Amino acid sequence: MAVLVTGALGVIGQRLTKKLRERGYDTVVSDVRILKQDGYRRGDITQYVEMDRIFKEFKVEHVFHLAGEVGRVNGEEFPRRAVDINVSGTINLAQLCLEHGAKLYFASTSEVYSGLPGHEKLTEELVDVHGYAPTNAYGISLRHFTDYMELKALSFRFFMCYGEGEYPNPYRSAMTNFIHAALTGKQLNVHRGTARSWCYIDDIVAGCIAAMEKAPFQRYEAYNIGRDELRPTEEVAALIVKLTGADPKQLVFSNPDRLVYPVKDASFAKAKGDLGWESTIPLEEGIERTIAWQRKELRL
C-alpha cells in the first residue's frame, strides 16, 4: 500500500510526510521542484500524464492532496492560477483516484465558510444548508466526483494552521508574520474586531492521519481541523509581543478590509466524534515553539 502526498514540499506536506514514514507507511512524495531523492517524484497536478505515471509506478492507494495555491490574498491577486491549480489539478487527482481505486484526502479551507451569514458556530453542515459562498477564488470547493461518481474522498477544512516550517512572507499566516515582525523590531499590523482559532501544525497533521486510519468511507465527509480555542487577534498579537520580549509600541491596529471574515468560531466536534481526534497543543506552547524555530532557522 503506497500513500502519495502531493504538495509534499510545502509546510504541511513536509510535516505530514515525516509523520507518515515514522508510522511505517510506504510514502511517495510529489511536488513541482526538480529533485532527485528516494521516494520523490516530480509531478505537476495540472498535468494528468505526469501524475498518472506516479500512480502506476507506486500502486497508490491513498492520496493526501496538499498541492495548491495558498492564502486568501493570493487567491484574489491570482484568481486564474488559483482555479487552474486548486480546481483543475484537483479534478485530475479525482479522476486518477477513480481510475486506480485510491482514496482521496484533500486540503480544503475555512474560507468555504467566509460568505455565510452572521458569526454562528461554523459546522461542516452549514455549507449544505446555505450552499457555498466563497468570497474569493481560493475558497472554491469540489463535490461533483464524490456526489455522482462514487469517489471515496474526505476534505479537511483547516483552521489557521501555524508553526515550524512556515517562513514569513506577505502571503503566509498572520501568526508567522506577527512573530517575525516582533523578533525584528517591525510593526505588527493587527485587525481590530477579528478572532481566530489557531492550530499548531503537529495537531493539523495528526488530524490528517487520524482521518486516513479511522474515518468511515460511506460517503463524502468534510472535517473541520483546528483547535477549539477562539482568541481575538489583538490578544494573540499582544501575547506574541510578550513572549518575544518585543516593544508593545510595535502593535499597530487597523480595521479589516471587507473581504476579511471577522470571526471564525468553528466546531471541531465532528472530528472528535468520528476520528477520536482533537488538538492537544495550547496556543501559548505552539507560539513558543514557533518563536524558537524562527530564532534558530532565521538566526534572529
So what's the pLDDT on residue 131? 57
Decide the pairing of beta strands 195-197 and 230-232: antiparallel
For the record, the C-alpha cell of 198 comes out as 489557531
Whole-Å CA distances, 298 to 134, 169, 186, 279, 286: 35, 13, 15, 27, 18
pLDDT attached to residue 82? 78
CA dist 292 and 300 (Å) reads 10
Helical H segments across the chain, by residue range: 11-22, 48-58, 72-77, 79-83, 90-100, 126-130, 144-148, 174-184, 201-214, 233-244, 269-275, 283-297
Is 259 within 8 Å of 191 (Cβ atoms)? no
The CATH code of the domain that includes 144 is 3.40.50.720
Which pLDDT belongs to residue 150? Answer: 80
Q: Which pLDDT belongs to residue 75?
A: 67
Count of domains observed in the chain? 1
* pLDDT in the model for residue 93: 95
C-alpha–C-alpha distance, residues 126 and 156, integer Å: 15
- C-beta separation of 19 from 77 below 8 A: no
Distance CA 137, CA 290 (A): 29
Q: Which domain holds residue 120?
A: 2-297
Spell out, as residue ranges, where the chain has pLDDT lower than 70: 71, 75, 114-120, 127-144
Output the pLDDT for position 256: 92
At residue 268, the pLDDT reads: 97
At 129-147, the pLDDT tens digits run 655 555 544 444 566 677 7
Quick one: pLDDT at residue 132?
55
**DSSP letter, residue 263:** B
